[in-house]
Structure 1
Amino acid sequence: MDDRLPIAILIKILSNHIKRNLDTAASFGPLYNITGTQIQIIGYIYHSPKDDIFQKDIETKFSIRRSTATGILQLMEKNELIKREPVEYDARLKKIILTEKALAVSRQAHHNLTDLEEQMTKGISPEELAVFRSLIWKMKTNLEELV
């Protein structure tokens, strides 16, 4: 352990390890060829308390431009992860529906994340994790003040 490394660098190192582990776990099975962003969108739709999710919701939630969201959702549709269906109350809107393939992706991603979390927190007490979570949220809040 190097106590001289800046916190931002330590977080980046940890983030790299998390990404590498998740990428390795996703290199086969239902997650094969599914991007992290697509997995996050599937998770957002799956866990959303809203009945209908639209492209605008994706744009807002992930802070992405309309053109970026369009490209991601078109690829997800092509790969049979989502369907877009019109809603009765506004012919211009199409709600995003997860397919069975996307539900399998969601289950596998949840399993991989649970396994990773268990590995990451091995030997760390609940009290230490509570402090860690609190500090992470405080740092996030501090950084939000900059923008």
Structure 2
Amino acid sequence: MKTRSIGMELRTLNNIIMRVMNNHTHKKYIDSITGTNGWIIGYIAHHGHQDVFQKDLEQHFCITRSTASSVINLMVQRGLIERHSVPYDARLKKLVLTPKALQFTRFMEEDGKKMEEILTKEFSLEELETLRSYILRMKTNLKEYDSQP
């Protein structure tokens, strides 16, 4: 029996996670929030004690500048985030959650905790640390490969 590649297994796992998140969480009641928007809202909410800029999203989510710009523009149009000037640099615009987005952060936190419980059920702490180390190593490998000419 041929085993599937690690890449295919990770892609399949991601698809299942997204399906569960779409069908068994608060998200199904929030039509205006896509999965990507939800992750961005969560990131900005989690970093509420500091200014968050587009470049932060690009680095954290490993997305291109054009992708980040498109997603942010759509989120501004949907009333989920706003761009605010910062006093120390007129060129920079920090990303701020709107009251509409703040209402959803509680639901997303609950859903995130539930997903983590489901994914890690019956894993020991040692197994989870080993899994995290494997995932981090894969990310490092891909980043190194991607940075090659």
**Distance (whole Å) between structure 1 residues aligned to residue 51 and residue 99 of structure 2:** 17
Deviation of 1:15 after TM superposition, in Å, equals 1.4
Which one-letter code corresponds to 2:20 in the other structure?
N
**Distance (whole Å) between structure 2 residues aligned to residue 130 and residue 104 of structure 1:** 33
Which one-letter code corresponds to 1:57 in the other structure?
D
Q: Specify whether residues 88 and 4 from structure 1 end up closer, same or farther in structure 2 by C-alpha distance, changes over 3 A only.
A: closer
TM score, norm. by length of structure 2: 0.78
Q: Deviations over 1:46-79 (max 9, x none)?
A: 2227632233433444444444333322221222
Q: Specify whether residues 133 and 83 from structure 1 end up closer, same or farther in structure 2 by C-alpha distance, changes over 3 A only.
A: same
Equivalences for 1:99-114 in 2 at 5 Å? 99-114=98-113
Gaps of 5+ in 1: none
**Distance (whole Å) between structure 1 residues aligned to residue 59 and residue 136 of structure 2:** 21
CA contact (8 A) 2:32 2:78 kept: no
**Distance (whole Å) between structure 1 residues aligned to residue 42 and residue 59 of structure 2:** 15
**Distance (whole Å) between structure 2 residues aligned to residue 17 and residue 108 of structure 1:** 20
Q: Deviations over 1:72-94 (max 9, x none)?
A: 22221222211222233344433
Gaps of 5+ in 2: none
CA contact (8 A) 1:42 1:106 kept: yes
- Could you tell me which residue of structure 1 aligns to residue 28 of structure 2? 27
SS at match of 1:93: strand
- Could you tell me which residue of structure 2 aligns to residue 46 of structure 1? 45
CA contact (8 A) 1:76 1:82 kept: yes
Which one-letter code corresponds to 2:43 in the other structure?
Y
**Distance (whole Å) between structure 1 residues aligned to residue 64 and residue 143 of structure 2:** 20
Equivalences for 1:83-98 in 2 at 5 Å? 83-98=82-97
Q: Specify whether residues 3 and 47 from structure 1 end up closer, same or farther in structure 2 by C-alpha distance, changes over 3 A only.
A: farther
Deviation of 1:34 after TM superposition, in Å, equals 0.8
**Distance (whole Å) between structure 1 residues aligned to residue 113 and residue 80 of structure 2:** 22
Deviation of 1:113 after TM superposition, in Å, equals 1.3
Deviation of 1:4 after TM superposition, in Å, equals 2.0
Q: Please, what is the CA RMSD of the aligned residues?
A: 2.4
Equivalences for 1:10-21 in 2 at 5 Å? 10-21=9-20
TM score, norm. by length of structure 1: 0.79
**Distance (whole Å) between structure 1 residues aligned to residue 138 and residue 62 of structure 2:** 20
